């Protein structure tokens, strides 16, 4: 894949749009990627207000005259520590806009959500067992045995490749008691989905997954009384929590053959793109791409999960709120993350133009604005209706007009509406 950033005025029919830069999140045109086959499509892109876009010259036309190819920069190479991760050319192309080639991401045979859900459940159960074991060893002061991490990451990657929504959606249902362990599994899956969206090759996808699985191993240094405290942390307790990236980095340094990306993400996943994060107060390109990815994936799973002191946010509301946190995330990495999980991820509560409420079942139709939805409530009558699956793609007159907060509606067992098909398939 060859990704190139160009000015909006340079767009031509025949180019393949890879991404829109700028105010893209709620734009009606927003689709993952598509070939520009008519001038009207260019006009709609111009209406987005973006100054630049990214095109894939391997799937469409390039500019008539190519400027000299710049050597790809290595994001995060400014680190002086041993945790710096030198990014591969294919990775740098997405963030820096350089014209470079990268190997395609691993290919897997596509499965339906219901089909992949069964395998995803098995992988999640196995992953939880391994994370509990590794964390227990670290908590006892032992060097954790991570021999199974690579093969486990490959299994998670294969599931994500077949249908990423299955594993990522199921692992989000973790209980508060399981959060510490299952958060690592969730971030692993999210890192893999994001890495594939960014065009990483197989080895880079694996590194991203391993980093996600091990990023919070430093939490083993925090007393459970603080880790699971239901109320607000004191300043002293919060200072203890902030030490976990350094503690985790220290633990992983003892592991022979540890992936450098795991060291880097463990230490730097709480750094902020605009500065003000911890432990190093890094900002911008001083934070490696892997760590910038880790920051997005870590926060998304944290805010959408049930925790001892926090009720999980609706997935689409999490996307909306995170998009507004100026300076927290790398904007281009966050855009790629939204392409990977959707503007309306599985389980999101949405209001349709017809006045019905529904829960998102899966993405469809090549657009992030037209998922399949199961409607179950009529806002006009304020009454439940017979659940019905509605596809918003392929010329449907129905459309999403707003996100809704499940807390406001007090729906019981909202997750059952999107889990129904998956559970029925298991019997």
Quick one: the chain helix, strand, coil %, rounded to 5? Answer: 45, 15, 40
Separation CA 159–CA 322 (nearest Å): 26
**For the residues of 390-427, what is the DSSP string, one character each?**
EE--TT-S--EEEE--HHHHT-TTTHHHHHHHHHHHT-
pTM: 0.77
Q: Give how far Cα 149 sits from Cα of 40, 140, 289, 371, Å.
A: 49, 19, 21, 34
Quickly state the pLDDT bin for 386 (edges 50, 70, 90). very high
pLDDT score for 98: 30
The predicted-structure confidence for 180-204, as pLDDT tens digits, reads as follows: 899 999 999 999 999 999 989 999 9
The predicted-structure confidence for 279-312, as pLDDT tens digits, reads as follows: 999 999 999 999 999 999 999 999 999 877 778 8
- pLDDT greater than 50 at residue 427: no
Query: Where do the structural domains in the chain lie, given as residue ranges?
Result: 3-67, 113-341, 349-425
Task: Tell me the β-bridge partners of 223.
Answer: none
pLDDT score for 52: 79
Percentage, residues of the chain above pLDDT 70: 83
Q: Which of 301, 284, 140 is nearest to 216 (CA)?
A: 301
pLDDT score for 106: 53
Total Cβ atoms within 10 A of residue 378: 14
In three-state secondary structure terms, 342 is: coil
pLDDT score for 99: 29
- pLDDT greater than 90 at residue 139: yes
pLDDT score for 47: 65
User: What mean pLDDT is predicted for residues 307-322?
Assistant: 87
271: phi then psi, degrees, rounded to nearest 5: -75, 150
User: What mean pLDDT is predicted for residues 50-59?
Assistant: 80
- pLDDT greater than 80 at residue 163: yes
392: phi then psi, degrees, rounded to nearest 5: -90, 0
CATH architecture of 113-341: Orthogonal Bundle (1.10)
Mean pLDDT taken over the chain: 83
Task: Tell me the β-bridge partners of 357.
Answer: 351, 377
Q: Which of 171, 177, 175 is nearest to 191 (CA)?
A: 171
Separation CA 91–CA 201 (nearest Å): 9
Separation CA 362–CA 233 (nearest Å): 37
pLDDT score for 421: 67
Separation CA 154–CA 80 (nearest Å): 30
The predicted-structure confidence for 339-382, as pLDDT tens digits, reads as follows: 999 999 999 999 999 999 999 999 876 688 899 999 999 999 99
User: What mean pLDDT is predicted for residues 159-183?
Assistant: 91
Q: For residues 110 and 361, which has the higher predicted lDDT (pLDDT)?
A: 361
Separation CA 386–CA 380 (nearest Å): 15
Query: SS3 for 16-85, per residue?
Result: EEEEECCCCCCCCCCECCEECCCHHHHHHHHHCCCCEEEEECCCCCCCCCCCCCCCCCCCCCCCCCCCCC
Quickly state the pLDDT bin for 4 (edges 50, 70, 90). confident
Percentage, residues of the chain above pLDDT 90: 57
pLDDT score for 377: 96
Q: For residues 343 and 27, which has the higher predicted lDDT (pLDDT)?
A: 343
Q: Which of 1, 146, 137, 144 is nearest to 59 (CA)?
A: 1
CA angle 220, 225, 229 (to 5 degrees): 110
- pLDDT greater than 60 at residue 74: no
């Amino acid at each position: 894949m060859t990704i190139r950033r160009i000015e909006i005025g340079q767009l031509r029919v025949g180019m393949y749009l890879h991404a829109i830069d700028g105010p893209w999140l709620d734009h009606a045109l927003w689709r993952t990627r598509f070939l520009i086959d008519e001038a009207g499509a260019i006009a709609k892109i111009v209406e987005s207000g973006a100054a630049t876009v990214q095109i894939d010259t391997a799937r469409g036309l390039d500019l008539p005259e190519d400027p000299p190819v710049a050597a790809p920069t290595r994001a995060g190479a400014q680190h002086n520590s041993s945790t710096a991760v030198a990014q591969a050319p294919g990775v740098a192309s997405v963030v820096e806009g350089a014209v470079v080639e990268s190997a395609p991401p691993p290919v897997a045979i596509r499965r339906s959500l219901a089909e992949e859900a069964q395998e995803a459940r098995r992988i999640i159960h196995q992953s939880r067992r391994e994370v509990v074991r590794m964390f227990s060893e670290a908590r006892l002061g032992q060097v954790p045995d991570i021999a199974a991490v690579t093969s486990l990451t490959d299994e998670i990657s294969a599931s994500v490749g077949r249908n990423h929504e299955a594993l990522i959606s199921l692992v989000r249902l973790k209980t508060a008691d399981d959060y510490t362990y299952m958060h690592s599994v969730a971030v692993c899956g999210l890192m893999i989905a994001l890495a594939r969206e960014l065009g990483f090759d197989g080895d880079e996808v694996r590194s991203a997954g391993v980093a996600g699985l091990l990023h919070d191993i430093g939490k083993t240094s925090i007393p459970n009384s603080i880790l699971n405290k239901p109320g607000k942390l004191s300043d002293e307790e919060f200072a203890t929590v902030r030490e976990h990236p350094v503690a985790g980095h220290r633990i992983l340094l003892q592991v022979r053959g540890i992936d450098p990306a795991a060291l880097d993400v463990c230490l730097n996943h709480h750094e902020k793109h605009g500065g003000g994060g911890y432990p190093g107060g890094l900002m911008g390109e001083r934070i490696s791409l892997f760590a910038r990815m880790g920051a997005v994936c870590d926060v998304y799973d944290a805010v959408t999960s049930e925790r001892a002191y926090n009720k999980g946010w609706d997935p689409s509301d999490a996307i909306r709120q995170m998009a507004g946190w100026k300076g927290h995330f790398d904007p281009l990495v966050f855009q790629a993350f939204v392409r990977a999980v959707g503007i309306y991820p599985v389980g999101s509560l949405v209001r349709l133009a017809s006045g019905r409420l529904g829960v998102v079942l899966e993405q469809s139709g090549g657009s992030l604005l037209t998922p399949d939805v199961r409607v179950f409530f009529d806002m006009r009558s304020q009454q439940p209706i017979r659940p019905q699956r509605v596809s918003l793609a392929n010329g449907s007159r129905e459309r999403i007009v707003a996100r809704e907060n499940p807390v406001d509606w007090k729906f019981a067992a909202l997750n059952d509406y999107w889990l129904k098909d998956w559970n029925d398939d298991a019997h």
